[in-house]
């Protein structure tokens, strides 16, 4: 992200507040499509080697995982931007704040009750707090931030993003420190009093800052297109230059330094771009959001057919998210029954469960399933968007 919190002023003129911004739907749709690849890899082709392990992983495995790093930051960032644009249609700030609060709480419940169920086929071996949970918390935080001046929200967003590495990790996590660890810490496993492990992969503070940053740049999308593209491209370019310069120093911004690799110079480059997602480091966000900002600046120039296709997913992100897990998880259950004689959850198996003897990882299988899932969801997403356009039920705003 750009280092300065000095932002362009609110534009005096621009598109109508009620109009959707195609660039947001297109880039969000691209993030949703890529996101499915990593989830499919986990269910259909988990590997004994960690994809981020540049000392042992193949180049294809590394990039299959690495490319999906761009999805969560883009999704959370654009959620903040969408909140600002929604606020232009609803002048009652109190109603917007209440909506953010209730939708945030609903998303937390959705993560625990529905998404955990889909991931683990109905058997809760662990309670997972992942991106939807932290998206909900970020909305709760933003429900308060929208009452502040824009500069104060910007100060919170960029202050957290840049200063997070000055905060201590809370280890070990105990019952007394659990709340603080959920706000900011490395991923951790906590055994609850019900003897059900709690795995917290996404902590609240940095992701709330990402959503707040997206909210802060919301006014850019009310500006005339040439001005908006100029602001976005400059911000994105600055973020990427900042990433490259700071990463080269190994001084600050990421807990995992890069190093020269015995496997050769290209693997040294992989080490250079292998940044920390949990929690999202300064360099992780500089790289991923820098690319997102550049994509937002050029997405209006995408071919019309590609834009319409991506926007179909980007207009209904939560519907897509839930449906893609239904297909991925349910399809994996059917596949393992056919392939191995009984269902195996290769991604979230109960402790002590061995993988089938005949199982072998296959990235080709993962990529084929990815294409099938994404294409299969196009028409349901298109139908659901049309349904939302034709109806105004209150619950549609929560899905």
Say if 7 falls within a structural domain. no
Q: What pTM does this model have?
A: 0.93
pLDDT value at 1 more than 70: no
Q: Is residue 19 very low, low, confident or very high in pLDDT (cuts 50, 70, 90)? A: low
Average pLDDT over residues 89-103: 94
Nearest to 47 by CA among 36, 37, 55, 56: 56
Please calculate the CA angle 96-149-22 and round it to the nearest 5 degrees. 55
Q: Find tokens 């503070």 and name the residue.
A: 205
Say if 389 falls within a structural domain. yes
CA distances from 230 to 233, 273, 307, 348 (A): 5, 26, 20, 45
pLDDT reported for residue 122: 59
Say if 121 falls within a structural domain. yes
Element (H, E) at 200: strand 197-200
Whole-number Å distance between alpha carbons of 345 and 391: 38
Whole-number Å distance between alpha carbons of 324 and 335: 16
Q: Alpha-carbon Rg of the chain, whole angstroms? A: 21
The mean of the pLDDT values for the chain is 92
Percentage of the chain surpassing pLDDT 70?
Answer: 94
Question: pLDDT for 332-382, tens place per residue?
Answer: 999 999 999 998 898 887 766 778 989 999 999 999 999 999 999 999 999
Element (H, E) at 127: strand 127-129
Say if 171 falls within a structural domain. yes
Q: Looking at residue 391, what DSSP letter applies?
A: -
CB contact at 8 A, 184 and 202: no
User: What are 116's two structure tokens?
Assistant: 């955990």
Residues present in the chain in total: 399
pLDDT value at 203 more than 90: yes
Whole-number Å distance between alpha carbons of 348 and 197: 13
Q: Is residue 392 very low, low, confident or very high in pLDDT (cuts 50, 70, 90)? A: confident
Say if 3 falls within a structural domain. no
For the chain, how long is the longest CA-to-CA vector? 65
Q: Looking at residue 301, what DSSP letter applies?
A: G
Report the domain count for the chain: 1
pLDDT reported for residue 6: 40
Q: Looking at residue 69, what DSSP letter applies?
A: G
pLDDT value at 103 more than 80: yes
Who has greater pLDDT, 355 or 315? 315
Say if 6 falls within a structural domain. no
User: 193 lies in which domain range?
Assistant: 22-398
Nearest to 289 by CA among 144, 80, 108: 80
Whole-number Å distance between alpha carbons of 50 and 132: 23
CA distances from 186 to 180, 292, 300, 325, 334 (A): 11, 25, 38, 26, 35
Q: Is residue 399 very low, low, confident or very high in pLDDT (cuts 50, 70, 90)? A: confident
Any alpha helices (H) in the chain, and if so which ranges?
A: 22-44, 59-66, 71-89, 93-110, 116-120, 131-145, 150-163, 178-183, 204-216, 225-249, 265-273, 282-298, 304-314, 317-340, 363-390
CB atoms under 10 Å from CB of 109, counted, come to 13
Average pLDDT over residues 387-392: 92
Q: Find tokens 């992701």 and name the residue.
A: 207
CB atoms under 10 Å from CB of 172, counted, come to 8
Whole-number Å distance between alpha carbons of 111 and 137: 11
Q: Find tokens 């992100």 and name the residue.
A: 317
Say if 150 falls within a structural domain. yes
Alpha carbon 32 to chain centroid distance? 9
Strand order in the sheet with 197-200: 127-129, 197-200, 188-191
Say if 113 falls within a structural domain. yes
Whole-number Å distance between alpha carbons of 89 and 345: 44
CB contact at 8 A, 101 and 139: yes
């Amino acid at each position: 992200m750009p280092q300065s919190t000095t932002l362009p002023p609110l534009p005096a003129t621009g598109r109508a507040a009620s109009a959707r911004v195609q660039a947001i739907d297109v880039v969000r749709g691209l993030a949703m499509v890529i996101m499915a690849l990593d989830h499919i890899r986990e269910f259909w082709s988990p590997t004994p080697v960690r994809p981020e392990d540049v000392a042992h992983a193949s180049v294809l495995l590394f990039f299959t995982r690495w490319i999906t790093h761009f999805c969560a930051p883009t999704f959370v960032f654009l959620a903040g931007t969408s909140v600002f644009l929604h606020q232009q249609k609803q002048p009652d700030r109190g109603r917007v704040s209440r909506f953010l609060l209730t939708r945030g709480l609903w998303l937390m419940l959705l993560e625990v009750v529905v998404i955990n169920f889909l991931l683990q086929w109905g058997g809760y071996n662990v309670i997972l707090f992942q991106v939807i949970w932290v998206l909900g918390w970020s909305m709760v935080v933003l429900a308060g931030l929208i009452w502040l001046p824009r500069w104060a929200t910007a100060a919170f967003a960029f202050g957290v993003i840049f200063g997070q590495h000055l905060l201590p990790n809370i280890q070990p996590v105990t019952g007394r420190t659990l709340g603080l660890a959920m706000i900011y810490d490395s991923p951790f496993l906590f055994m609850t009093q019900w003897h059900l492990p709690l795995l917290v992969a996404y902590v609240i503070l940095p992701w709330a800052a990402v959503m707040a940053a997206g909210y802060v740049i919301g006014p850019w999308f009310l500006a005339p297109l040439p001005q908006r593209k100029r602001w976005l491209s400059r911000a994105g370019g600055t973020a990427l230059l900042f990433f490259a310069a700071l990463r080269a120093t190994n001084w600050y911004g990421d807990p995992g330094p890069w190093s020269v690799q015995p496997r050769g110079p290209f693997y040294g480059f992989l080490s250079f771009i292998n940044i920390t997602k949990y929690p999202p480091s300064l360099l992780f966000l500089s790289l991923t959001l820098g690319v997102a900002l550049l994509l937002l600046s050029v997405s209006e120039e995408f071919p019309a057919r590609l834009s319409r296709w991506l926007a179909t997913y980007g207009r209904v992100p939560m519907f897509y998210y839930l449906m893609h897990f239904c297909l991925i998880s349910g399809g994996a259950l059917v596949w393992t029954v056919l392939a191995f004689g009984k269902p195996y959850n290769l991604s979230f198996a109960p402790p002590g469960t061995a993988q089938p003897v005949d199982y072998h990882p296959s990235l080709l299988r993962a990529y084929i399933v990815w294409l099938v899932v994404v294409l299969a969801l196009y028409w349901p997403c298109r139908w659901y968007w049309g349904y939302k356009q034709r109806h105004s039920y209150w619950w549609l705003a929560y899905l």
